[in-house]
Structure 1
């Protein structure tokens, strides 16, 4: 008899000659003695492919030595045999010991490599430990264990007796290994076969091979051994997947291989190829990075972020070639999973999308309606999902925080919620794991397995022992496998499960059990490394890949923390400063133009191309390019019209193509933008219009940019993020006849393009010019209404001018009388003023003198309507009770001066024009009007001492003089009893300024401002008025007093000429 211990695999083999008495061996914990003679005659003898701990043993066609040959060698002593028995008695978890008098069949031998005694002893570690005892270092090595259905070799374990399942975790013999123990990157489980991917990129298979699913050729020949799947030399596999009877894998270079059953098109090959015996490259139009298999279908994630599907669909139809799921275009998918006939994908921002069959609520949509297209699980959008596992009719989700949600069929308790109902159509958190951090999840056909702090919990169907608890009773709630700890990863499928124990595994975070490739994305660190190492070609490859794919671009520059999750109108998840830094760093290199050209060209395939289909977008994640592209270097400095046409116009057209909810979402994101990012967007679009105007392109070409800018202008007016001047196209007046354009706009009907429709891009000078044009048009219209044609000659039926006479020494009284009697139509006529007793022709000088004298008198303190500050010499509303009509009249007179192109010395601060435009005033305005009082308020804000209340001694009240009588007013309820402190001083200053400038005693100032505004707009009710900036409106009234004396000096030539007498 030969006995050996295969450490770290804990396997014991005994065999004897055909005529000897049967040798017995005990299976620990089961108190059962059995031999090969007691096994069913058709049960194959397990044989093992055992690699060396130092290197993989190459497969050989030499047949496995028979049991008789092992008997003849007898290389181990009785002492060694007793040592092995001691190890066997102490081994955990359990293993099988098999005795056999029969040799493997020729077919089995042909498929099994030769194992020499030295190979076995090396694998056992007996060369270093002759006694066969396991040292402390060896006990720390990684181990692979399995349990569940084993009837076809899918566990590489021969069950005892007539059983077809393994109910407790058993050590897997012959798994690929390295110096650290079991070398497992991933395991994929089919119905009756299994694929193992080792860390060195080699693929192994075991189990049934009825349709060639093992990838070894010779369909119908199954195997209880773990045997390598042959690939061309140097090929490394990075992921494997299994369906019912088909398999798939992805290689390091992105190639997809499929093999096995193709009766439903699950391999992506024509229907006449029903079986593929060995891995064959699938017909797919791009490199891939992930694959998932359902029973008769295959789901694939391409490196460009595209999702493909083939095989049996939810409605019973079959696809025999990979088809793109168009609804998912643009979503940065990072994880895919396939169930019985449903599919689930997870995005980089934690969004979950499901589609397919939904009879048991496995889509999590809240109902049982089948979905032909992916739908977003809105109720999971804020949960930060990072991993998904699918059973036949149930789904399990894992969040970044380690919480687990389940939904779908709960017929066997696979949802872990106690089976209160047989189905759940809405995701529900599993109560047993609340307060704990789940690290890994896996799902079989009707069972679920999770890992918590190295412990395994399983629940659901257990008919084949797939829960590993030693029974075949279903578990409605999670049950801990007490026999297993230090579990680092789990893999499950159909009715069997695998665990990897690793005492040396580093502390893990929630995530997938195996390393998965994900589509490329750009990060600040990645680009910085490329630039630092001068790896230009690699950088250009990544730029080309990312900017040519909408999905990859949407997955780039995301935050590394929780801010990347829960994409919504309130959160875009993009680190805008990283975008700015990266693209600015590219702009500062000597290859800046090349990088910019590459990015713009690649965008034609993503944002600007036919793949950009906003009507199909399922998530706001798809519109992130509008946050990123403005930081391309040529966006704000387009040197040619070609750049504008390739970048700016296409960018604007893409925005216009968005659905209204998508545009509203972008508006909400832009509204919360830091000023530097919002200003960048506006400046770039303005630069595009400027370039088109400079090149004298037809105005219609600028329409997409102007439409976009109009949206941003409306948005900006809500909170004044940037100055209105930033929207100005300052070369417009030089390149376009804007007066003619305005007249045509007013007098022409139809959808024609006119610059006048977009006055917000015009600076104050142009808008003032248009305001005068508008006034002239109104005046001419009033003249026309005053005349009729009588016998071919014009006859005035009323005065075509607003003509009145005033006395110099009664200028205020006479003006009041005229204004009160004039209606709006009369005031819109050209103004002509005449001083009584003077015959001067009013060519403009008389009007100017009239307004100067009028305002000098009417603003005097004796009228009680306005007060002048002694320090600033500026005037403001007094707040004294006055006749409302007087303020209406003064407002109308100011508008009348503007309407008739008369500049007047109106000694009001900028705040007047703010309130006219219904904009709030602030402390800066108060300091301009009342510099001494305002600076005192500023010093109050600046004071940080702890003795604030002692120094200032203020309360929330103010004393105001009304016709010389002091009146105290509280600035808030119980203001006299509320002291001003360090904590509330800002509120005090705000209320103080508002009271002094906009409110007044009994709200008198507020009323006076309202009457003044009413009179002003009664005369000047232009559609352009609301587009003026306060300072622009002020310049329209009093003129521009900010002279550039340096520029004047540069352009002034002083010439001396000698005078000759």
Structure 2
């Protein structure tokens, strides 16, 4: 509390609240006047009871709050509340019903206890009932706790609460004031509506009955009156309507506290004469011009004229433009300015209460709406960044706050701090980076539900702010990894084998932001997430043949561009196969895999059956029985191509084939000739990936999503079954309530088999309310439930065939290209990557060859690719990575240089001085007959 007499503090409670004429103290009493709090001008708080007891003295100075700046106080029958300017709420006294809000372990305490559950929520007002307590946040959220025998907490039941509980029934009601009676509560909205709930036995709720109300209910008799102020007596409610300059009363008037003859129980609000103001009347001629503070007590009800409506409520500290301008204009960052900065930026609640959207949007604060005006945050940053002394002080205070941020927030209002602070830490210096690292650590400590709320708020940020948030965490991730590399280079080579947990926080945040970005339609290009420094780490890991750090970094695939992902994966594969990158030397024997063309699948099974776990870590070396050739990748590619083509034949019955040209697992795996078929297919796919080959099974992209443990969607079903997918999409958009469907699906060749999507699904109609559930269950059945066994076999085989684990770094579409190859080609890039032996790039024969090649139809070009590699697709490592060689047969003996195999001529021997016509003839003949040309 500010010292001296220039500020006035008013109490807020259920009973009498008065201020001395000299402005030296504020008094707050309960209804029976047995308990009184006095807040002095010097900030000290004293407590007075009508009688002393064993647990408490009659009068005492509350020394425990001596260093707190108290702005509001409230008294219950036997408990007290105090709100500090720093946003902390303290309670003490009896806790028989949980009215202290600190749990049920404590029955009584004379020492003020911090209400931890409200930490970080910017409170606007506090109020105490007989044995219950309430608060309002700056955005109108109401919290209640304590005794609830009559429903006075507004939670829909009569169960006591020992911790603050959000009153969901008042969500977005724009509550601006609250008052408590002995066992009832009244709230006032910004629009002037009044809700009451709790005990109604004396008519104090104003609903023309004596019934208790468990949920907030609007007082209909006051509808349209635009109430200005409310106050609850012990069993009564008093309101004031400024526009009419009238007071209305309902409830019990047993003590005769109002002028005129009134019934003991007034069931609806009725106008009354102006109440007495402690013996001094408030002149009506001024009442319409000035705010009115009304207090309803057990012995008296009175009104007090004030200059501003509700001015008797002092609030927590929040940023004000004038105050900030004063900071900037001051030549030095004096102690008073530092004190103001510390007051606000050392408090979650004060930060969360600042920068509220002035257009009343903050009253709609929820998991989707933050209530923060982000442009105001940016404007504040621009102001203070111009004055480094102020900015550094703000930074220092924020950095000290970060480790204490709550890991279990209870309200969406708590999460504003995570939106605001990053935009105040934008300086490109070590201090800002350190603060962002600490903030990232605090975010990662959030409970799953809290993190989900923050992700939702991130997803609803304007694109410009979301992009800037990505940039901040991408920049600090760069800083961390650059520092990591420098430490390794200079003096800490052991750093290559570890990455401190503290350093992964920003990477975690960046990864989560990427996931949010993908769910919201990729508003920010994925290149904004790349961290270039990872390439140096990859190179070091390749040099030292270790993948320890890469395993950790691979958890954050968004930081890698496609090329770096490939390098990460190939580095791991080399480490597993004991191949040194520099120089590239094999240090282990290859896995010799001999097969016969005419018995290919049987021989593959035989080889796999006898294989050890270690064999799958070796480089695959395939040979076809009776055929010459050294496998440098091409023969292996031929094996996978033929195996995939054979298994995909409709006659085998292995897969379900669709008009889209795609294949999918059968719903009955027993249709397959061998029970281990999908184990075999999965193993082949894993082996192909590990050996950098393609295996052209025409799977839909959903397979790769399932491999990466991502949930299939309706779009995936439309990819496989366009007609069914579009039909389900129409169901989601159907306006009619009657959809003539139930929770079943017809399947089988004749569509006669009925499968229930949920228990008793045949008797559950699909309606407008449950249609999304129906579509979700349909998708889940098609891609998960119906193919569970064959996919599990496939996954088991895949993990066996590919001992590397960093394939998970790829996104589904990238993994699909890796295994199935590119279907679109840049033929000029292919030309650019060719190597020559015995030729120069500008030799006439070479120029003639490429002239002829580029004039070929697309289909013939793909046939040429199949002639070279055994597949009409370029390996998933990209056209830029694909290489082949054109050699002069006169300069080198082809048979000695590369024994001829029936597949994969990665060295093309081109006769010198060939004309364009001859080259075209030989080229077409070679690709159509799968024979090399230019050879005898």
Q: Which deviations, in whole Å up to 9, do the C-alpha atoms of 1:282-322 show, x marking residues without a partner? A: x9768776566899999765554355799999999989xx9
- From 549, 565, 582, give the equivalent of 2:376: 582
Per the TM alignment, residue 675 of structure 1 is displaced from its structure 2 partner at its CA by: 6.0
Distance in 2, Cα, partners of 1:1047 & 1:466: 94
Q: Which deviations, in whole Å up to 9, do the C-alpha atoms of 1:323-364 show, x marking residues without a partner? A: 987775533121234678987543224455679999999999
Partner of 1:704: 502
3-state SS, counterpart of residue 1015 of structure 1:
helix
Is 1:335 paired with 2:125?
A: yes
Distance in 1, Cα, partners of 2:790 & 2:94: 77
Is 1:732 paired with 2:517?
A: no
3-state SS, counterpart of residue 1031 of structure 1:
helix
Q: Which deviations, in whole Å up to 9, do the C-alpha atoms of 1:838-894 show, x marking residues without a partner? A: 454444443334434544555456656569999x98777799954354444333222
Q: Is the 8 A contact 2:135 2:143 kept in 1?
A: yes
* Cα 1:332/1:837, change in 2 over 3 Å: same
3-state SS, counterpart of residue 651 of structure 1:
helix
Partner of 1:892: 683
- From 279, 294, 299, give the equivalent of 1:495: 299
Is 1:571 paired with 2:367?
A: yes
Partner of 1:404: 196
* Cα 1:290/1:1049, change in 2 over 3 Å: farther
* Cα 1:493/1:1018, change in 2 over 3 Å: same
Structure with a larger share of its residues in helix? 2
Is 1:467 paired with 2:258?
A: yes
Is 1:902 paired with 2:700?
A: no
Distance in 2, Cα, partners of 1:364 & 1:959: 49
- From 514, 518, 521, give the equivalent of 2:315: 518
- Larger displacement relative to structure 2 (772-781 or 895-904): 772-781
Partner of 1:628: 420
Per the TM alignment, residue 644 of structure 1 is displaced from its structure 2 partner at its CA by: 0.9
- From 688, 692, 708, give the equivalent of 2:480: 692
Partner of 1:594: 386
- From 807, 819, 844, give the equivalent of 1:1037: 819
Is 1:441 paired with 2:230?
A: yes
Q: Is the 8 A contact 1:300 1:307 kept in 2?
A: yes
3-state SS, counterpart of residue 614 of structure 1:
coil
Q: Is the 8 A contact 1:264 1:318 kept in 2?
A: no
Distance in 2, Cα, partners of 1:559 & 1:908: 50
Distance in 1, Cα, partners of 2:714 & 2:572: 36
3-state SS, counterpart of residue 629 of structure 1:
helix
* Cα 1:388/1:961, change in 2 over 3 Å: closer
Distance in 2, Cα, partners of 1:259 & 1:987: 59
Is 1:643 paired with 2:440?
A: no
Per the TM alignment, residue 780 of structure 1 is displaced from its structure 2 partner at its CA by: 6.5
Per the TM alignment, residue 623 of structure 1 is displaced from its structure 2 partner at its CA by: 3.9
Q: Is the 8 A contact 2:15 2:233 kept in 1?
A: no
Partner of 1:664: 449
Q: Is the 8 A contact 2:687 2:801 kept in 1?
A: yes
Per the TM alignment, residue 721 of structure 1 is displaced from its structure 2 partner at its CA by: 1.9
* Cα 1:1012/1:603, change in 2 over 3 Å: same
* Cα 1:633/1:1043, change in 2 over 3 Å: farther
- Unaligned runs of 5+ residues in structure 2 are 1-8, 51-58, 101-106, 276-283, 488-494, 580-587, 736-742, 758-767, 846-936
Q: Is the 8 A contact 1:459 1:477 kept in 2?
A: yes
Q: Is the 8 A contact 2:195 2:218 kept in 1?
A: no
Distance in 2, Cα, partners of 1:919 & 1:468: 72
- Residue correspondences, number: 743
- How do 1:6-405 and structure 2 match up within 5 A? 214-215=21-22, 256=41, 301=83, 303-306=85-88, 329-337=119-127, 345-352=135-142, 375-379=163-167, 382=170, 384=173, 385-389=175-179, 396-400=185-189, 401-405=193-197
Partner of 1:614: 406
Q: Is the 8 A contact 1:413 1:476 kept in 2?
A: yes
Per the TM alignment, residue 651 of structure 1 is displaced from its structure 2 partner at its CA by: 0.6
Distance in 2, Cα, partners of 1:918 & 1:857: 28
Partner of 1:836: 625
Partner of 2:704: 913
Distance in 1, Cα, partners of 2:146 & 2:651: 84
3-state SS, counterpart of residue 624 of structure 1:
helix
Q: Which deviations, in whole Å up to 9, do the C-alpha atoms of 1:18-70 show, x marking residues without a partner? A: xxxxxxxxxxxxxxxxxxxxxxxxxxxxxxxxxxxxxxxxxxxxxxxxxxxxx
Distance in 2, Cα, partners of 1:249 & 1:618: 30
Q: Is the 8 A contact 1:442 1:448 kept in 2?
A: yes
How big is the alpha-carbon RMSD for the aligned residues of Structure 1 and Structure 2? 7.1
Per the TM alignment, residue 1019 of structure 1 is displaced from its structure 2 partner at its CA by: 2.0
3-state SS, counterpart of residue 592 of structure 2:
strand
* Cα 1:381/1:248, change in 2 over 3 Å: farther
- Unaligned runs of 5+ residues in structure 1 are 1-184, 196-212, 216-228, 232-238, 251-255, 266-273, 277-282, 506-510, 782-798, 947-955, 974-981
Per the TM alignment, residue 404 of structure 1 is displaced from its structure 2 partner at its CA by: 1.9
Distance in 2, Cα, partners of 1:192 & 1:959: 72
Distance in 2, Cα, partners of 1:556 & 1:1035: 49
3-state SS, counterpart of residue 433 of structure 2:
helix
Q: Is the 8 A contact 2:86 2:343 kept in 1?
A: yes
Partner of 2:594: 805
Per the TM alignment, residue 652 of structure 1 is displaced from its structure 2 partner at its CA by: 1.7
3-state SS, counterpart of residue 495 of structure 1:
coil
Q: Is the 8 A contact 2:18 2:26 kept in 1?
A: no
3-state SS, counterpart of residue 434 of structure 2:
helix
Distance in 1, Cα, partners of 2:716 & 2:620: 33
Distance in 2, Cα, partners of 1:874 & 1:362: 62
Q: Which deviations, in whole Å up to 9, do the C-alpha atoms of 1:446-489 show, x marking residues without a partner? A: 754234774511433543x3122337x85475663455699874
Distance in 2, Cα, partners of 1:1024 & 1:603: 39
Per the TM alignment, residue 600 of structure 1 is displaced from its structure 2 partner at its CA by: 7.4
Per the TM alignment, residue 645 of structure 1 is displaced from its structure 2 partner at its CA by: 1.0
Distance in 1, Cα, partners of 2:651 & 2:46: 102
Partner of 1:654: 442
Partner of 2:865: none
